[in-house]
Amino acid sequence: MHMERKTLYIRTYGCQMNFHDSERIAGILGTEGYQLTDRPEKADLIIFNTCSIREKAEQKFYSDLGRLRKLKKTNPRLKIGVGGCIAQQEGEKIFKKVPYVNLVLGPQNLDILPELIGTEKGTSLEDRPVHVKTYIPPQRLDRIKAWVTIMYGCDNFCSYCVVPYTRGRERSRPWKDIYREVKELSEAGYKEVTLLGQNVNSFSRNLEEDIDFPDLLYKLSEIDGIERIRFITSHPKDLSRNLIRAMKELQKVCEHIHLPLQSGSDKVLQLMNRGYTYRDYKEKVDFLRAEIPVIAITTDIITGFPRESEKDFEKTVKALKEINYDGIFAFKYSKRPNTSAVKLPDHISDKVKAERLSRVLEIQDEITLKKNKDLIGKEIEVLVEGKSKNYEDKMTGRTRTNKIVNFPGKTDLVGKVINLRIIEARHHSLEGEIL
Ligand code: SAH
Ligand code: SF4
Ligand code: F3S
């Protein structure tokens, strides 16, 4: 049968999981004859893979969507689909808000896409716990590093967060499926995998298999060709000594952990339903550093959570100084639909949230720069990823601790692990030279 060639444009917002879902969307539509384009005006189908984590992400999507509306006039055959977390959250309401949208597809229903694209107004939003077993071969954008989802959804219900509502209940993939995928990646020449889940530490909680996340790391480490294993995200309450031991023992597991603190105040942590105190958290960090001295630790911080007093905020500042993170992502608290924090008393004004955010960023900038400067003169192992985006004549790679290093070098180094000497440090990257 002759398959008509069509073009697909995907715009992605949000976390790595969403970016990886876009690779799966491209994979599944590739088998239907769709080819990716990076120009929306050339597309027969445009998919917005949306994020709902903060109001800003949502606004960005609606304004981008509005801007592409004119393309419907120039190409009457054009279809527009909305996937991801806003699709799940809003459902059919999107058709009312934006009548020129054709499809609304939740993150658990990517495999239904081929059936939907034939319809004029299609939705697929059901909770489908079995979809963890449906393997959709992704069309990956990178040849060296690959994302591998190990679990879907989240059961933690942090009081500010939409993810449990948009991604549904926590479900892990059977470990053999994950193993097979990583094996195939190694055969295809990939060097690095990043295991994805909202809370990778609770991997397998729903499985009947007798395996936990550290066990999975041991198994995946056996696969030849894969040189580096990363994972994201770890919830502090579930970070076990076994995981720390696995990180220490397994050569392939990189010395980096993203461990979202959110706040340094126990009162706020409790209101957030995070399930740990600052002290619990700090003890884990101390243990991590005692076992793996070179480990890089990064975090997420929310400023201006409801009822966060000046005193509570000072505790976050103190925590940042005490822990000395390698990097942070910080956000102003944003009210989200369905979440319980919306109902808390004493919401903080935007002005105060913004002031606290800039203070946090300023403090961390200084810490990050100092940490990066400490690396000057040191020899560091880097996996070369490709040409530098910021410097035309340079290559770029990452250290095991997930820091970006730019250096003069040739493109035949891509995919190789090499040693560099660090010669300069910036806020968000390092400069190196080949040894
Ligand atoms: N599962 C991961 C993170 C998912 S969301 C975890 O638990 O760590 C990524 C980050 O977005 C969160 O760590 C949090 O800092 C931030 N975030 C989530 N909801 C938010 C909200 N309503 N307002 C501001 N920041 C939010
Ligand atoms: Fe959201 Fe908390 Fe789940 Fe992370 S652990 S996705 S912050 S509910
Ligand atoms: Fe956003 Fe959904 Fe990821 S809300 S951060 S795309 S899980």
Q: How far is CA 162 from CA 16, 155, 167, 322, 354, in A?
A: 16, 11, 8, 30, 21
User: What's the predicted TM-score (pTM) here?
Assistant: 0.96
Span 112-132, mean pLDDT? 83
Q: Ligand 1 pocket, 54 CB below 6 A?
A: yes
Mean pLDDT of 150-176: 96
pLDDT tens across 271-329, in order? 999 999 999 999 999 999 999 999 999 999 999 999 999 999 999 999 999 999 999 99
d(CA 100, CA 119): 13
Average pLDDT for 172-180 = 95
Contact 132, 173 (CB under 8 A): yes
Query: 3-class SS at 392?
Result: coil
Candidates 158, 202, 299, 339: which one to mutate for ligand 2, based on the most atoms within 8 Å of Cβ?
Answer: 158
| pLDDT value of position 403 | 98
**Structural domains in the chain plus CATH codes:** 6-128 (3.40.50.12160), 131-373 (3.80.30.20), 379-434 (2.40.50.140)
Question: For a substitution probing ligand 2, which of 155, 161, 166 has the most ligand atoms within 8 Å of its CB?
Answer: 161
Residue 122's pLDDT band (cuts 50, 70, 90): confident
Give the pLDDT band (50/70/90) at residue 3.
Answer: low
Rounded mean pLDDT of 256-265?
98
pLDDT of residue 119 exceeding 90, the answer is no
User: Whose CA is closest to atom 2 on ligand 1?
Assistant: 198
Secondary structure element (H or E) that encloses residue 164, with its range:
helix 163-166
Q: Mean pLDDT in the chain?
A: 95
At 408 the three-state DSSP class reads strand
Closest ligand 2 atom to residue 235 Cα is 5
Enumerate the H helices of 336-423 as residue ranges.
350-373
Residue identified by tokens 């995981």 is 243
Q: In a 3-state reduction of DSSP, which class is residue 429? A: coil
Report the run of H or E that residue 293 belongs to, with start and end.
Answer: none
- DSSP for residue 253: B
Residue written as tokens 């910036």?
426
Of all ligands present, the nearest one to the C-alpha of 158 is: 2
Confidence of residue 346 (pLDDT cuts 50, 70, 90): very high
Give the pLDDT score at 129: 74
Cα 225 to ligand 2 centroid, rounded to whole Å: 33
Type of residue at 158: C
pLDDT at 178: 97
pLDDT of 4: 73
Please report, rounded to a whole number, the percentage of residues in the chain having pLDDT higher than 90.
88
Cβ neighbours, 10 Å, residue 199: 20
CA distance readout (Å), 321 to 34, 98, 127: 50, 46, 43
17 Cβ inside 6 Å of ligand 3: yes
pLDDT grade, residue 206 (50/70/90)?
confident
